[in-house]
Amino acid sequence: KYTRLGGTAPKGVLLIGAPGTGKTLLARAIAGEAGVPFFSMSGAEFVEMIVGVGAARVRDLFKQARENAPAIIFIDEIDSIGRARGPMSIGGSSEQEQTLNQILTEMDGFSGREGVIVLAATNQPDVLDKALLRPGRFDRRVVVNLPDKIGRKAILEVHTRKVPLAGDVDLADLAATTPGLSGADLKNLVNEAALLAARRGQDDVRQKDFLDALEKIVLGPERPLLLTHDDRERIAYHEGGHAILGLVVPGADPVHRVTIVPRGQALVVTYQRPQTDRYNYPEAYLRAKIVGMLGGRAAEEIVYGTKTTGAESDIEQATNIARNMVTRWGMSDKLGMVQLASRQNGYLAAGFAGPKPFSEETGRTIDAEVQRIIDECHADAMRLLAARRKELDALVAALLARETLGEQEILEVTGLPPAPELASRPLSEAALAARDRTRS
């Protein structure tokens, strides 16, 4: 159809997406739908190979496909061979480079009439050698995103086909509860739920099994740990601080549960999950997140007047968001919309060994701006928590008695309504003036 009008059919298609999003399945499905043979290899296989073997395998693969054309070739994890060739490799070429060159040679050898299409998958398109992306090679790019709510429901339906479900199982509700989970994660969720149901001696899998399995996947298994009375109380205040702020900071994610039972890596966790799938984060939402993260330490400071190491991962996450706001998302009025860190390496400003892409002075401003955001959010956390001391004490008493509280229990114990809607932060005066100028 294409060649009739003088066009050339595309030869290479690059599937881009996070691990577990189903790039391999998609490639297989294309071959299945088209009813053509499917030849695949994984880039990772070549990393440790003896020099020359990779290139030979590539030659072989393309030869087979050509003989069986029309056919589809699939190269998984192409980034492990297709990484940009650095200046280091002048002289003797590495196995990786030879394999890459062979792929390029084979693709250039196609006229487009052989009926062979090469699909490749990667989760790091930005590290790929530019030569791979040139016209006539992988010039089509298909982004395979994490599934949305409808997609997640469909995926759950597929994986539960052979699972006996109890009448109370609501896959649509499970899909709504699992934003951010990939197809592979959902498959794992179904399996964990089935294992739980079996361990509980049931004949079918119930909604509760799914929800418990989800908690286990997201938070890690519960583990017993003896805590002193003082530790328990301090932890309860720390977690209570997070939970209260989850209720009073506008735009905060709803607090799903709060517990002082240690789980997985984290000593304790307050589990907040976003209401909906998000593709775009407003500045006010990011600030709400930071305020909530600093709430654990703020509660400890208010109640005990001292600090502990318990806030380490909170501080790490909060700093990370604040730094990204300043260096990647143009949310500092002082620095404006200048990219100061790469998307790939968010820590460019903090731990990059090579030359920084900005001056010493800008570096100092970045540090100061990150500091300012954290300080402002910390002050917000202190102020909001101090005003809710009564509710915080009530929550802590309930936590010490019951250890784990669900969403409804948290609302009952504190008597607080769920967090109000997000109001966006108004633009700065300079930005307002600029906007008015463009209007007039």
143-151, 178-186, 216-224, 307-315 -> range binding Zn ion (CB under 5 A): 307-315
Per-residue tokens: 98 = 């030879």
Question: Least distance from C-beta 25 to Zn ion, angstroms?
Answer: 38
Per-residue tokens: 428 = 């700065």
Shortest Cβ contact with Zn ion: which residue?
Answer: 296
Helix (H, G, I), strand (E, B) or coil at 258: strand
Taking the CB of residue 112, how many other CB atoms lie within 10 A of it? 15
Rank residues 76 and 314 by Cβ distance to Zn ion and give the closer one. 314
Which amino acid, residue 428?
Answer: S
Which residue among the candidates 77, 97, 233, 239 is catalytic per the annotation? 239
With CB under 5 A, what is the number of residues at the site for Zn ion?
A: 2
Rank residues 23 and 388 by Cβ distance to Zn ion and give the closer one. 388
Instruction: Give dist(CA 78, CA 39) in Å, integer.
Output: 15
Helix axes 360-386, 283-304, angle to 10 degrees: 60
Question: Least distance from C-beta 306 to Zn ion, angstroms?
Answer: 16
Cβ-based burial of 292 (10 A; exposed 0-12, middle 13-18, buried ≥19): buried
| 240: contact with Zn ion by CB under 5 A | no
Instruction: Give dist(CA 405, CA 52) in Å, integer.
Output: 60
CA distances from 290 to 375, 381, 410 (A): 10, 9, 21
The yes-or-no answer on residue 239 being catalytic is yes
Rank residues 293 and 325 by Cβ distance to Zn ion and give the closer one. 293
| 314: contact with Zn ion by CB under 5 A | yes
169-177, 212-220, 312-320, 357-365 -> range binding Zn ion (CB under 5 A): 312-320
| 295: contact with Zn ion by CB under 5 A | no
156-164, 206-214, 250-258, 293-301 -> range binding Zn ion (CB under 5 A): 293-301
CA 421 to chain centre: 24
Among 82, 125, 292, 296, binds Zn ion (CB under 5 A): 296
* DSSP-derived secondary structure for 118-139: EEEEES-GGGB-GGGGSTTSS-
Question: Least distance from C-beta 266 to Zn ion, angstroms?
Answer: 8
| 300: contact with Zn ion by CB under 5 A | no
- Report, as residue numbers or ranges, the catalytic residues: 239
Summarize as ranges the residues that interact with Zn ion (CB under 5 A).
Answer: 296, 314
